[in-house]
Amino acid sequence: MPILTLITFLPLLGAILILFAPKGKDNLVRWTSAVVTFLTMVLGFYVFFTFNRNTADLQFVERAAWIPSFGISYFMGLDGLSMAMLVLTPFLSFLAAVYSFNIKERVKEYFFFFLLLEAGMIGVFVALDFFLFYIFWELTLVPMYFLIGIWGGPRKEYAAIKFFLYTLFGSVVMLLGILALYLTSPITAANPTHTFDIIELSKSHGLMPGWHQYLVYAALFLGFAVKVPIFPFHTWLPDAHVEAPTAVSVILAGVLLKMGTYGLLRISYTILPEAAKYFAIPLLILAFINIVYGAFVAMAQKDLKKMIAYSSVNHMGYCLLGIAAMSTVGLNGAILQMVTHGIITGALFFLVGVIYDRAHTRDIEGFGGLMNKMPVYSAIMILTCLGSLGLPGLAGFVSEFMCFSGAFSSTINTNVFRIFTGLSIAGLVITAAYFLIMIQKVFMGPLNPKWKDLPDMTAREYVSIVPLIVLMVLLGILPVIASGISVKSVDALVMLLGVKI
Amino acid sequence: MMQGFLPIEMLQGLYALAPEVFVLCLAFLVIAADIILPLKSKRRILDIAALGLVFAMLLTYGNFYQQGAYYFYNAIIVDPFAGFFKIIILISAVFMLMMSRDYKPLEDNKIGEYTSLVVLVTLGMMLMAGASDLLMLFLSIEFVSITFFVLVGFLRKDMKSGEGAVKYFLLGAFSSAVFVYGASFLVGITGASTFPSIQKYLVINGAGPLFITGLIIMLVGFGFKIAMVPFHMWAPDAYEGAPTPVTAFLSVASKTAGVAVLVRTFIAILPENANVNLILAILAALTMTVGNLVAITQNNVKRLLAYSGIAHVGYIMMGFVAYGILGVESVLIYTLAYLFTNMGAFAFAVAIYNKTGSDDIRDYAGLSVASPALAFVFFIFLLSLAGVPPTAGFFGKLMVLYAALDAHYIWLAVIGVLNSVIALYFYARIAYYMYFAKEAKITEPLKLSVPLSIIIYSSLFMILCICILPEQFLILAVRTVKLLIGPFHAL
């Protein structure tokens, strides 16, 4: 059974199905999307549980000739680098779809774009041919543009076009990099054309001499850096996050940002290992800036959602730290961090949405004493914040610890890595500080009389949030569920990179 | 010399040019129909012409099986390359006639005249695609230009239409003169006007500086036809003033024919790229940058598409600069993508104009609420114009970028991709009004007439097809280009 094709195109099928829904049948549209995303999620988990963790080989491979005269094939497959994201994406999409039941305007279009987005995101993580990869990569832009621009907050138009232009800029430069890789792939008797095959390209790596490879790396890096986002390309993120509707923020933080880090691992690292090593120190420094700068800016925010948006910048910094380290622990940590950040920040955005739906404000200073009024909500929120700041026993701790210890023990340039890892620890302290200050201002103290009528969470909100909380705790106690998944592939990648451990 | 007058040779030529002969007859048929048909069924003439052109398309299909044969003393060549462009011209003519069916500003009693001009200009462009003699080239270009002057100024009561026509005419006449001046260099140096003879001369003597100068002067003439910067000034005014179907026709067919002669002349005369390529590359970069930057501030959809069309010429030039099989192949694919994308976009412009009577993109506000499905289809056309996958525009752009990188024009490719970001901005502005604007100007659903829906949905199908299943197009393009370049490499 071509399960990866199925899982990628099921949401697309759902999107087309929704188009045929009669006008005014909003509930039909909602439930169709919920069912489609649920089925996709089930498929995702099915793949997750049948995935063989003891091999670095590609699994569930599907390959067919597509555009032979250009060496383009329809090539999908999974390995440890992509498995975790493949299960996270449909999972978060399902929860977000359920949360989106509160969308009242233009419901049909909303879910159409939402499902289109899901198809694009899943496609990015399973595609192993550059052409296919790039189509999916770009496919995520358009729905996102509309989801922010139509259903977003007060400055939605600005945020939407900024997001669109920024990411398009990144991706067209990346396209040049891809074409350069394509052009330098060898032509042999067996392969009469160049190839867009990512795996094939990674096998023939190193054919390009020095600066050539660095240039291509830089072009690809720009595309990924905008997505992650890496300082100084991060300015679209707070705007997009603040204006996007809740469920879209969740997808944005939970999945879209990871496309950048995944791209770094899957493409830059496997195809251009030389350049990756060359740029390890700059990447480390950028990671450090992301961590510390993100944390400081988050602390300065008055808007709850903006604070969490900047905390994403900060947390993606940990992920980059692990990636820059190029050690087994660091890379495994980075992949785990992608998952845990998706879960925790996803939950945080949902929770911010919950309070915003009730109070219609996100001003941290404007709340106070919510603990008395909304005990369940407050408990969940505080627990998630603790998870985000890396409290042991919750998911965030494990991955952050792995990223840090991986970076600390990196053999690329021991001293530099130790210094910057040490400095980055400061980011952890600041992160703890801003979360605790926020908790104090919002939940502690006397109840602001303005909020005396706030109801607690509803069933729909529980359905969206509780699974994330359960996972957060579960991964904190038994991280091996997720961390074991990438071990073999990371070993192979480290071998390819040729870094001594 | 008497030998050449043997009727058998003439007959062979006429047989090979069956599509052109047929289109000529069609033009007379249209004039006859205009006399016979009563006023209220004059719009039938458009149908007759469209059907006739579809038949001409079938005849043209035979060109793909030709290996490249010269007729009429080497004045005209029939080969797949010419066939490819003829088909594009015919498709856009058919679409254009279908669009005219519902275009309100056209008066019923002028339809016959209008249609016969369209059919004749189609003939002219088909001849351009096959011209292999400088004289033939000049005559067909003039034929097309003069007919287009009339078509652009066809709305006699509209000041803008007249203004566009006059500007088009003045600049057109000037550029033709420059073109002839350049061509005279070539004829003077080589003593021949047909491409094969010029080729032979060059193989023996090589291309001297004076020859190259003549070629560059000729470039002015081509540049005018395809609206290349800095010879693009006429385009926005002519596009804005002309009846919208004529605008669509001008922007697709006339440009395509211009690209065809540009490519054929350069490839035929200069088998390997000479020093002209740097000039072409700079012009390409200028063309796309100026086109895109100026497009940002346009509010009239026809002007906007005019500038975006200028930018597209820049991309086509980028593929052409790369020369060689890959370069020309990318030009073909890009042109094909451009045909369907632009025709679809103009069909929308006509549909919305019929509804609101306005070409201002700010009046598109509310379209997405009134008819969400059509708005999204329009948006897909915009994406294709901007070159975002999975559309033909993307595949075309990928091809030209690939060709440019392959030919080591890295700086040009970088300018190309940066331009596509600028382009996205102004296409997204249209989407902005359709989707995000607060005050809805369009409140009732948009209804497409049958001809417009045929144009829109067939174009939609094609732009998705060119990106998702391009293999057949690529095979066709490679074969075409090999036959175009092949004979000269063999010399």
pLDDT of residue A206: 53
Residue with tokens 């012009």: B283
Contact (CB<8Å) A109/B372: yes
b/e sequence B77-108, b meaning 16+ C-beta within 10 Å: bbbbbbbbbbbbbbbbbbbbbbbbbbbeebee
CB contacts, 8 Å: B474 with chain A? 67, 69-70
Beta bridge partners of B194: B133
Q: Residue B435: which of A456, A11, A149, A131 has the closest Cα?
A: A149
CA Rg value for chain B: 22
CB contacts, 8 Å: B379 with chain A? 142
Kindly give the confidence (pLDDT) of every residue in chain B, 491 residues in length, as a single tens digit, with 9 standing for 90 and above.
445 556 777 888 888 888 999 999 999 999 998 888 888 888 888 989 999 999 999 998 888 887 878 888 888 888 889 999 999 999 999 999 999 988 888 888 888 889 999 999 999 999 999 898 999 999 999 999 999 999 998 888 888 888 888 888 888 888 889 999 999 998 998 888 888 888 888 888 877 888 888 888 888 888 888 888 888 888 888 888 888 999 999 999 999 999 999 988 888 777 665 567 888 889 999 999 999 999 988 889 888 998 999 999 999 999 888 877 888 899 999 999 999 999 999 999 988 888 888 888 888 888 888 888 888 899 999 999 998 888 999 999 999 999 998 888 889 999 999 999 999 988 988 888 888 877 777 788 888 888 899 999 999 999 999 988 888 888 888 888 888 876 554 44
Nearest-by-Cβ selection for B432 from A69, A157, A179: A157
d(CA A370, CA A458): 16
Q: What is the DSSP letter of B445?
A: P
Where does A234-369 have alpha helices with state H? Answer: 236-243, 246-251, 257-263, 270-271, 273-278, 280-300, 304-325, 328-359
Residue with tokens 């006859």: B32
Q: Which helix (H) or strand (E) holds A156?
A: helix A156-184
pLDDT of residue B1: 42
Contact (CB<8Å) A172/B383: no
Contact (CB<8Å) B471/A173: no
Predicted-assembly ipTM surpassing the 0.85 threshold: yes
Residue A75 domain flag: no
Nearest-by-Cβ selection for A180 from B373, B405, B432: B405
d(CA A273, CA A291): 25
Residue with tokens 């149908």: B47
Contact (CB<8Å) A165/B421: yes
Range of the domain at A291: 280-501
- Residue B470 token pair: 């391009």
d(CA A141, CA A149): 12
CB contacts, 8 Å: A168 with chain B? 388, 420-421, 424
Distance of CA B116 to the CA centre of its chain: 19
Q: Residue A262: which of A145, A126, A388, A129 has the closest Cα?
A: A126
Nearest residue of B to residue A146 by CA position?
A: B435
Residues of A with CB under 8 A from a CB of B: 19, 66-70, 106, 108-109, 134-135, 138-139, 141-142, 145-146, 149-150, 156-157, 160-161, 164-165, 168-169, 172-173, 175-176, 179-180, 182-183
Among A19, A107, A168, A183, most B C-beta atoms within 10 A, so best to mutate, is: A168
- CB burial class (10 A; 0-12, 13-18, 19+) of residue B157? exposed
d(CA B266, CA B273): 9
Q: Could you tell me if A92 and A28 are in contact, meaning their C-beta atoms sit under 8 angstroms apart?
A: no
Vertex A252 angle, CA A248 and A258, to 5°: 155
Q: What is the DSSP letter of A244?
A: S
3-state SS class at B90: helix
Contact (CB<8Å) B475/A146: no
Q: Is B417 touching A (CB cutoff 8 A)?
A: yes
Size of chain A, expressed as the number of residues it contains: 501
Q: Residue A432: which of A258, A287, A313, A314 has the closest Cα?
A: A314
The phi and psi torsions of A74 (rounded to 5 degrees) equal -85, 100
Contact (CB<8Å) A176/B421: no
Q: Could you tell me if A78 and A86 are in contact, meaning their C-beta atoms sit under 8 angstroms apart?
A: yes
Contact (CB<8Å) B436/A160: yes
Nearest-by-Cβ selection for A175 from B390, B417, B470: B417
d(CA B350, CA B345): 9
- Residue A243 token pair: 């204006």
CB contacts, 8 Å: B405 with chain A? 176, 179-180, 183
Measured over the CA atoms of residue A264, residue A266, residue A270 and residue A271, the dihedral's sign is negative
Nearest residue of B to residue A148 by CA position?
A: B436
CB atoms within 10 A of CB A268: 23
3-state SS class at A129: strand
CA Rg value for chain A: 22
Q: How far is B270 from chain A (nearest CA, A)?
A: 26
What would the 3-class secondary structure string for B259-299 be? HHHHHHHHHHHCCCCCCHHHHHHHHHHHHHHHHHHHHCCCC
Residue A213 domain flag: no
d(CA B428, CA B327): 29
- Residue B60 token pair: 């043209």
Nearest residue of A to residue B476 by CA position?
A: A69
- The reply to whether omega before B390 is within 30° of 0 (cis) is yes
Q: Is B474 touching A (CB cutoff 8 A)?
A: yes
DSSP sequence for A347-377 = HHHHHHHHHHHHHS--BGGG---HHHH-HHH
pLDDT of residue B180: 92
CB contacts, 8 Å: B389 with chain A? 134-135, 138-139
- Residue B424 token pair: 């996205």
Residue A222 domain flag: no
- The reply to whether omega before A186 is within 30° of 0 (cis) is no
CB atoms within 10 A of CB A54: 8
Among B296, B399, B436, B482, most A C-beta atoms within 10 A, so best to mutate, is: B436
CB atoms within 10 A of CB A187: 11
Contact (CB<8Å) B432/A161: yes
Q: Could you tell me if B403 and B327 are in contact, meaning their C-beta atoms sit under 8 angstroms apart?
A: yes
CB contacts, 8 Å: B406 with chain A? 183
Nearest-by-Cβ selection for A138 from B389, B435, B471: B389
Q: How far is A448 from chain B (nearest CA, A)?
A: 35
Among B400, B422, B471, most A C-beta atoms within 10 A, so best to mutate, is: B471
d(CA A116, CA A114): 5
pLDDT of residue B490: 44
Q: Count how many domains chain A has.
A: 1
* End-to-end Cα, chain A, rounded Å: 39
Left (φ > 0), alpha (ψ -120 to 50) or beta: where does A245 sit? beta
d(CA B337, CA A249): 35
d(CA A71, CA A461): 47
Contact (CB<8Å) A161/B369: no
Question: How far are the Cα atoms of B183, B274, B276, B277 from residue B280, in angstroms, in the given order?
Answer: 18, 11, 6, 5
Q: How far is B406 from chain A (nearest CA, A)?
A: 7
Pair type for strands A72-78 and A59-67: antiparallel
Q: What is the DSSP letter of B104?
A: T
Q: Is B482 touching A (CB cutoff 8 A)?
A: no
Contact (CB<8Å) B471/A67: yes
d(CA B359, CA B239): 12
Which distant-in-sequence residues (6+ apart) come within 8 Å of A124 by Cβ? A133, A136, A137, A140, A259, A262
Question: How far are the Cα atoms of A182, A425, A480, B47 from residue B404, in angstroms, in the given order?
Answer: 13, 47, 49, 42
Give the orientation angle of helix B372-386 with respect to helix B410-431, to 10 degrees. 160
Q: Could you tell me if A336 and A84 are in contact, meaning their C-beta atoms sit under 8 angstroms apart?
A: yes
Q: Could you tell me if A402 and A322 are in contact, meaning their C-beta atoms sit under 8 angstroms apart?
A: yes
Q: Residue A64: which of B226, B469, B194 has the closest Cα?
A: B469
Measured over the CA atoms of residue A390, residue A392, residue A396 and residue A398, the dihedral's sign is positive
d(CA A236, CA A121): 19
Nearest-by-Cβ selection for B388 from A138, A160, A182: A138
Residue A109 domain flag: no
Q: Residue A320: which of A459, A419, A424, A218 has the closest Cα?
A: A424
Q: What is the DSSP letter of A186?
A: P
Kindly give the confidence (pLDDT) of every residue in chain A, 501 residues in length, as a single tens digit, with 9 standing for 90 and above.
788 899 999 999 999 988 888 887 888 888 989 999 999 999 999 998 888 888 888 888 888 888 888 888 899 999 888 888 899 999 999 999 988 888 888 888 899 999 999 999 999 999 999 999 999 999 998 899 999 988 888 888 888 888 998 999 999 999 999 998 888 877 777 777 888 888 888 877 655 667 788 888 899 999 999 988 888 888 898 888 888 898 999 999 889 999 999 999 888 888 888 888 888 889 989 999 999 998 899 888 888 888 889 988 999 999 999 898 888 888 888 998 999 999 999 999 998 888 888 888 888 887 877 787 788 888 888 889 888 888 888 888 888 888 888 888 887 778 888 888 888 888 888 888 888 888 888 888 787 777 777 787 788 888 888 898 998 888 888 888 877 888 888 888 888 877 644
Nearest-by-Cβ selection for A69 from B432, B436, B474: B474
Q: Is B406 touching A (CB cutoff 8 A)?
A: yes
Residue A386 domain flag: yes
| Greatest extent of chain B over all pairs of C-alpha atoms, in Å | 75
- Residue A403 token pair: 């990223």
Residue A423 domain flag: yes
